[in-house]
Amino acid sequence: MHPTIPDMQYELTTQKAVDVGLIYHMTRSFHKRHWTKLVLAAGDGDFFEPVQNLVEGELYLVGSLNAISEELRPYARKIFEIDKEPLHSAII
């Protein structure tokens, strides 16, 4: 139900191919800015190949360890686990 218009129903939409868009912009940014560090707050295995090809410098992964792909982990200089201290208490 809409918060200010009681007769209007919300429409739930799901966006598809978000990973493709993120990978496109990540690749574009890399080629324009030539960054050497990447902090990725996604652990999806779909990022494996772009990360493998783009990250010549430092990769930091942020997320829950059980949600970060096994394929991405070897490329990370460090993994910041959001469900462990000190990050856990900082985000609650």
pLDDT 10s digits, 61-74: 998 888 898 988 98
pTM of the predicted model as reported, rounded to 2 decimal places? 0.68
pLDDT at 91 over 70: no
Kindly state the tokens that stand for 52. Answer: 């493998």
Residue 92: pLDDT band with limits 50, 70, 90: low
Q: Which stretches of 9-85 are DSSP H helices?
A: 18-33, 48-54
Cα–Cα–Cα angle for 61, 65, 66, nearest 5°?
135
Q: What is the mean pLDDT of the chain?
A: 80
Query: What mean pLDDT comes out for the span 11-22?
Result: 72
Give the C-alpha separation, 11 to 75, whole Å: 40
| Surface-to-core class of residue 60, CB atoms within 10 Å of its CB (0-12 exposed, 13-18 middle, 19+ buried) | middle
**pLDDT tens per residue, range 24-47:** 888 888 889 988 888 888 778 888
Task: Report residue 47 as tokens.
Answer: 């990022």
